[in-house]
């Protein structure tokens, strides 16, 4: 087992969904996977492995923020051999044309974090999705009839920020949404030569606040992104 994951070798599939909320991981396991077995309860960061359409798939929470997902994704990749990682989470719209309950596929992730600059001072390393996963997810989502936006997101280090207006200015430059994990996941994928993608459901809007959803809805619904993520993971 690793420091933060109690799974034994072989307990985790080589493809995984990564919601931020561990209870969303539990929801996915109970509603989409067959024969799901819990492989991690350390810090209540639940992880499960089961099958989806006959293929072995895992799901595990990552917590909130770039540091948290960096810990779990690093251990999943380097100590458990995970090759495909798809974040399924929520995001806040920064663009007037991107509405609550619509999907955003993060083609790239800007960030205000120093987590990557610490490794590459003087460089702005581009955090980009794996194109194969991005292309596949887009066509799956469109085939399901889902309103889907492909473009940039902002991975922010802070949730309560004094820079809301700056974020809205980014929205005018087609940064569709703000979230807190994708840039770190994409950076780790680039470091270790694996595939990663962020699929987000818009849960609230900085430009259309009347569209916001409740905490319970965010935990237990938004199943479209889960279906798209699972279909994208399998061969």
Within 8 A by CB and 6+ apart from 25, the residues are: 17, 19, 46, 47, 48, 59, 60, 61
- Residue 56 counted as an annotated binding residue: no
- Residue 64 counted as an annotated binding residue: no
Q: Could you tell me the CA-to-CA distances from 3 to 60, 72, 76 in Å, in that order?
A: 15, 10, 11
φ and ψ of 187, to 5 deg: -65, -45
- Residue 89 counted as an annotated binding residue: yes
- Residue 50 counted as an annotated binding residue: no
- Residue 200 counted as an annotated binding residue: no
Active-site option among 35, 204, 212, 235:
204
Q: For residue 10, how far is the Cα from the chain centroid?
A: 23
- Residue 87 counted as an annotated binding residue: yes
Interhelix angle 223-233/22-32, nearest 10 degrees: 70
As a whole number of angstroms, the distance between CA 67 and CA 113 comes to 10
- Residue 101 counted as an annotated binding residue: no
Beta strands 195-205 and 84-93, pairing class: parallel
Beta strands 34-40 and 47-52, pairing class: antiparallel
| 235 has catalytic annotation | no
- Residue 203 counted as an annotated binding residue: yes
- Residue 24 counted as an annotated binding residue: yes
Task: Indicate the annotated binding residues for phosphate.
Answer: 20, 24, 43, 87-90
Task: Indicate the annotated binding residues.
Answer: 4, 20, 24, 43, 87-90, 179-181, 203-204
The residues annotated as belonging to the active site are 204
Task: Indicate the annotated binding residues for a purine D-ribonucleoside.
Answer: 4, 179-181, 203-204
């Amino acid at each position: 087992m690793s420091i933060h994951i109690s799974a034994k070798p072989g307990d985790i599939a080589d493809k995984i969904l990564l919601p931020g909320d561990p209870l969303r991981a539990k929801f996915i396991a109970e509603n989409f996977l067959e024969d799901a077995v819990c492989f991690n309860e350390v810090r209540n960061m639940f992880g499960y492995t089961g099958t989806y359409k006959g293929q072995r798939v895992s799901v595990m929470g990552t917590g909130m923020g770039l540091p948290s997902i960096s810990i779990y994704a690093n251990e999943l990749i380097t100590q458990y051999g995970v090759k495909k990682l798809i974040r399924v989470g929520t995001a806040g719209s920064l663009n007037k044309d991107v509405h609550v309950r619509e999907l955003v596929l993060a083609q790239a992730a800007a960030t205000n974090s120093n987590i990557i600059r610490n490794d590459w001072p003087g460089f702005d390393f581009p955090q980009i999705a794996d194109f194969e996963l991005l292309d596949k997810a887009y066509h799956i989502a469109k085939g399901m009839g889902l309103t889907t936006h492909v473009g940039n997101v902002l991975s922010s280090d802070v949730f309560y920020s004094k820079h809301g207006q700056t974020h809205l200015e980014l929205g005018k430059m087609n940064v569709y949404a703000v979230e807190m994990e994708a840039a770190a996941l994409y950076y780790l994928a680039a470091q270790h030569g694996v595939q990663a993608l962020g699929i987000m459901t818009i849960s609230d809007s900085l430009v259309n606040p009347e569209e916001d959803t409740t905490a319970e809805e965010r935990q237990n619904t938004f199943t479209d992104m889960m279906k798209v993520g699972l279909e994208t993971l399998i061969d």
